[in-house]
Structure 1
């Protein structure tokens, strides 16, 4: 061993020393490589552990999010189901109230109106049917009956006619009456008889009224149109 200003220098002086030095160098390189391998292995396991932990955490988060969405969707479905049931009940109550207001005349009147428009080839038959219908109409389209009908529709359709009056004040009394009959569920032909218009004009008037409502900018305009 030579100690110099640049460190210790190994100078084997025999064949055995050279072999020993070679063995020491090989052992040193082996131990260094082994230590490096161990460190790499530890790093790899550490990275794998981190990845696994992140995957587990991500899976838990995804599971929580999916579960919350599922719970929210199920709650929305339950609420919609209850709303449908409630709406069906309210519609049945509305129909019951209208039947109570108009009695058996409603079915009779719808039947007579249908026959009136179908029997247009005979003026005599039309006149006979019209006379029969007229008796019912006079009792159904007076202001008192229309007011009662409007109150019933407001009660069971969340005040829809009242909202139309408030949000679209430009509509005429005739328009409000036309909408009331529609919201009450009368057939197009019955509405024609009540409002004294022809069947072909019914659809034109309803279409124009829909456009006016949609163009009015009323907050509930889509609701108003959907019930027509």
Structure 2
């Protein structure tokens, strides 16, 4: 009988131990389910951010190609035209370049860059508050992927000044202690 009582106690202890283990496993499952829900929320937010960035990129590309398409259309229609008509095309190209210097266009570029590059222009302003407006504009156009010649025309500088300015600004960023230094250098590629 004592032997039986010992076995019953052992079984009761075993059942309690298994119940404790089951309780702990259920708690762990609850924590894991909560973490899964959090991760699903993060994935959903990332997908929404990705869609927003993609839409901003599409808008930029369409705008850029709209200008190119208009100029190409005009060029094609005046290809065999007399010099006077070709001069008109040159003037139109010059007009488009001047439009690229407008505050509205530059603000659109800045907003798009902030959207695409995780607030890169805001971070640049915060990291380098003493940066001259012309240097800020130069970096913005560089980050946006404009060619050296396009930047020279928009910023009204010569090619030698372009390379000096680029080198000087790159060194300034490299020597800084900005937490966003790598982001800026990556955007300058």
State the TM-score, normalized to the length of structure 2: 0.56
Indicate the SS of the match to 1:87: helix
Matched, 1:194 2:150: yes
CA-based RMSD of the aligned residues comes to 4.2
Aligned counterpart, 1:57: 20
Q: Distance in 2 between matches of 1:51 and 1:213?
A: 66
Partner of residue 45, structure 2: 82
| 1:85-123 superposed Cα distances (whole Å, 9 cap, x missing partner) | 2332244135426744x56125789xxxxxxxxxxxxxx
How far is 1:165 from its partner? Answer: 0.6
Residue 138 of structure 1 is matched in structure 2 by 97
1:39 to 1:176, Cα distance in 2 relative to 1, 3 A: farther
Between the aligned partners of 1:57 and 1:214, the Cα distance in structure 2 is 57
Structure 1 SS opposite 2:178: coil
Are 1:99 and 1:106, in contact at CA under 8 Å, matched by a contact in 2?
Answer: no
Higher Rg: 1
| Alpha-carbon displacement from aligned partner over 1:154-189 (angstroms, at most 9, x marks no partner) | 4676653123212233545455334423554x3xxx
Deviation per residue, 1:42-92 (Å, 9 max, x gap) = 234313321321222222222321332233223323332332223322441
2:87 corresponds in structure 1 to none
Q: List alignment gaps of at least 5 residues for structure 1.
A: 1-37, 110-130
What is the rounded CA distance, in whole Å, between the counterparts of 2:187 and 2:33 in structure 1?
A: 32
Which residues of structure 2 form unaligned runs of 5+? 72-89, 153-158
Aligned length, in residue pairs: 158
Secondary structure (helix, strand or coil) at the match of 1:104 reads helix
- Of residues 11, 18, 33, the one that matches 1:70 is 33
Q: Which has the higher relative contact order, 1 or 2, with Cα contacts under 8 A spaced 6 or more apart? A: 2
1:105 aligns with 2:67: yes
Q: Is the 8 A contact 2:143 2:187 kept in 1?
A: yes
TM-score, structure 1 as length reference: 0.49
Q: Who is 2:85 aligned against?
A: none
Give the Cα separation in 1 of the matches to 2:184 and 2:151. 20
